[in-house]
Amino acid sequence: MTEYFEVHARDGAARVGELRLESARTTPALVDDILEDAGSLWAADREVPAGDESTLTVLPHRAFPGGTAPEVQKSFAVDYPDVDYPSVAVVSSESVDDQGTDAYAVSNVQSIVGHGAALVEAVVSVREAIPADTALYFSGVATPRNVALLAYAGVDLFDATAAVIRGTEGRYLTTDEAYFLEDLEELPCSCPACQQPREAFSREDCAEHNRNALEAELGIVRQRIRDGRLRDYLEGQARQDQWLTAAMRELDSQWSYLEERTPILRDAQIDAASEETLRRVEIQRYADRVTTRYRNRFRNPLVLVPCSAAKPYSESQSHRQFHDAIQWRGHLVSMTSPIGVVPQELETTYPAQHYDTVVTGRWSEDEKQFVSEVLRRYLERNAESYPYVVAHVPDEGYRDIVSRVEESWTGEEDLDVTYTVPEGGHPTDDESLTNLASALSGELKYSKREREHNTVRAIADYLLGDGAGDGLFEEIQTTSRYPKIQVRDREDTQLATMVPQYGTLSFTLEGAKRWVEADVPTKRVEIDGFVPHGSVLAPGVVDADEDIRVGDEVVVDGPNAFGVGRAEMFGREMAESTRGIACEIRHVEEK
């Protein structure tokens, strides 16, 4: 049972936590000054130390280097005692079990840092084997250059050993380089150690600078995690080192590990400044849900249009011009990098209105391939619902993407595409807009009611699964104005409200009851026999559905209470954790 470590903020696998010692320490952090090592059992028998709450004690251990045979690790495995002070177990990433300690030090870390695939495999195997609310410690490897990547992968605790040793060797560390001290004509830092003339700067000063630089970088990392912006920072940082880029790409391939830990919504904007953004969980998840959960419910033609800089798209000047020409006679779907395709009903749903991208007017081949694949999958699922397709897109990038899908189309339904922007023209030119309006001539408008009802159902599909929209909201009425739609049943009982900030749905108690009764998978948190007010703490959770993600709408159910709220942990973390807020409660009633 973890008593001395608690997670306060999450950004994917990265966490801001607290070591609850006599003097609390916020993580990710250096801990070598508060660490007490009880020693290796390879050298001698060791007594279990008395320990205290002022230090983090590494229990007597046997460390196994990388590649140690499994039978050897099994034969010499240590049974860690149950102690009542902050403790650390030493484990190999090749053989790890829950030892009931507050933190875990990885013994074979020296053999994996520098190798992208090995690093990711090690972090994932250890994190998946130990409780979610325990800290992971990497000793002897952290530098200002790599610590952001290590924290992003899920490492919480570090020491300054590697940075200090390099300083004594005359290596001056920064976040993007390791300089030989003799090659520096000036000191590019303003830390206390560097406040002296270059000629007086010694190797001891260099070691102090390296530790200061590592501490400063960890401060940036912690703030980036709190802001939900660590990935943006890392995409720039990783470019400074080939193995960091390789490790980030390897981590992106660990879909289940990162997806489970990545919130479905957040306030932070995604900065799509590199092609690495295409591999982000938020981007891949959106594309996956749009192409496997969303189903078009309109009977009008599909109109493909370019995205806009303004978000949501419908508020941009260009999209207002498109709407004036379309007049609700076509179903608008925007094409964009890095998101893919965005049906008009999901234009506010995270991250469709929460990103900013580099605008050059030119698409990279990676972007074209990604958006082409998403569009193809979207059409394979929805083509039969459209009588024809209008592509109101310019030449560069957009038209190439549509043409690729059209030329490679093998679906049962013919893909009848009409292009309305003349070669070399712009979608907002008078001629282009006239062509767009003409292409939809004779089509009937769909009503505001149909638009709002389909928006509610589409968001439900996206959030809860394929068919959830019809299963929950087949017979509804809507009030208030888009995008703050209120969902009511035929008796005028409010069921849910659309949250425009995230493009999600917020359920009432009656809506939650309908959800439980419907044939729609429920995200359920089972609690103990109490009535929660404001929040449910992890110790009060009996069980939770494993598909719950941070930000999900959840039903809270127990012997004495029924409620609805929003998840603050992912499902497995709720069930495993002994500290922290599992979910925030919006409405609750006593049974």
The residue ranking higher by pLDDT, 347 or 95, is 347
Considering the domain architecture, whether residues 233 and 339 belong to the same structural domain is answered as no
Same domain, 562 and 415: no
In a domain, 268, yes or no: no
Per the CB < 8 A criterion, the answer to whether 159 and 140 are in contact is yes
65-76 pLDDT, tens digit per residue, is: 888 888 888 888
User: Is 349 within the bounds of a domain?
Assistant: yes
Local confidence band at 165 (pLDDT 50, 70, 90 cut-offs): very high
- Mean of per-residue pLDDT scores for the chain: 93
Residues 156 and 216 in one domain: yes
In the block, tokens 């084997």 appear at 129
In a domain, 108, yes or no: yes
- Say if residue 256's pLDDT is above 60: yes
Cβ count within 10 A of residue 371? 27
For the segment 98-105, the average pLDDT, to the nearest whole number, is 94
d(CA 247, CA 119): 7
Average pLDDT over residues 231-238: 88
Do 251 and 123 share a domain, yes or no? yes
Q: What pLDDT is attached to residue 359?
A: 67
CATH number of the CATH domain containing 487: 2.30.130.10
Domain hosting 553: range is: 457-590
Residues 43 and 70 reside in one and the same domain: yes
Phi-psi map region of 228: left, alpha, beta (phi>0 left; psi -120 to 50 alpha):
left
The string of pLDDT tens digits covering residues 4-23 is: 999 999 999 999 999 999 99
Cα 82-83-89 angle, rounded to 5 deg = 75
pLDDT at residue number 385: 95
**Residues 117 and 179 grouped into a single domain:** yes
Tell me the per-residue pLDDT of 273-328, one tens digit each, with 9 for 90 and over. 778 889 999 999 999 999 999 999 999 999 999 999 899 999 999 999 999 999 99
The β-bridge relationship of strands 135-138 and 56-58 is unpaired
Task: Read off the CATH number of the domain in which 113 is found.
Answer: 3.20.20.105
pLDDT at 236: 84
103 shares its domain with 229? yes
State how far the alpha carbon of 74 is from the alpha carbons of 45, 64, 402, 524, in Å.
18, 11, 57, 38
Strand duo 87-91 + 417-419: pairing: unpaired
Task: Determine the pLDDT at residue 453.
Answer: 97
CATH number at residue 362: 3.40.50.10630
C-alpha to C-alpha distance for 417 and 420, rounded to whole angstroms: 10
264 inside domain? no
> For 442-488, how does the pLDDT look when each residue is reduced to its tens digit (9 = 90+)?
999 999 999 999 999 999 999 999 999 999 999 999 999 999 999 99
Residues 418 and 473 in one domain: no
> Do residues 103 and 57 share a domain?
yes
- 414 and 317 together in one domain: yes
Domain count, the chain: 3
List, in order, residues 6 or more apart from 588 with CB less than 8 Å away. 509, 531, 532, 533, 556, 561, 562, 563, 564
Q: Are strands 494-499 and 486-488 parallel, antiparallel or unpaired?
A: antiparallel
| Residue 285 within a domain | no
Residue finishing a domain among 440, 466, 498: 440
Does a structural domain hold residue 445?
A: no
Do 242 and 323 belong to one domain?
no
265 is a domain residue:
no
* Distance between CA atoms of residues 143 and 210, nearest Å: 8
Q: Which of 338, 339, 357 is nearest to 347 (CA)?
A: 339
Which among 19, 29, 86 is positioned nearest to 58, based on CA atoms? 86
Residue 208's CB is within 10 A of a number of other CB atoms, namely 19
Q: Which helix (H) or strand (E) holds 582?
A: strand 581-590
Gap between the Cα atoms of 198 and 200, Å rounded: 5
pLDDT of residue 135 exceeding 90: yes
Q: What is the structure's pLDDT at 242?
A: 86
Mean pLDDT, residues 341-356 taken together? 95
Residue 332, pLDDT above cutoff 80: yes
26, β-bridge pairs: 18
Phi–psi pair at 220, nearest 5 degrees: -65, -45
Under the banding of pLDDT at 50, 70 and 90, the label for residue 361 is low
User: pLDDT at position 360, please?
Assistant: 61
Buried b (16+ CB within 10 A) or exposed e, 544-555: bbeebbbbbbbb
Residue 470: predicted pLDDT: 96
pLDDT band at 412 (very low <50, low <70, confident <90, very high): confident
pLDDT band at 433 (very low <50, low <70, confident <90, very high): very high
* pLDDT class of 198 with cuts at 50, 70, 90: very high
Task: Compute the C-alpha angle 447/453/458, nearest 5°.
Answer: 125
131 and 224 together in one domain = yes
Domain end call among 393, 415, 440: 440
Residue 111 — pLDDT band, cuts 50, 70, 90? confident
Which strands form 302-306's sheet, in the order they lie side by side? Answer: 340-343, 331-336, 302-306, 389-391, 417-419
Picking from 233, 258, 283, the residue at the C-terminal end of a domain is 258
In a domain, 230, yes or no: yes
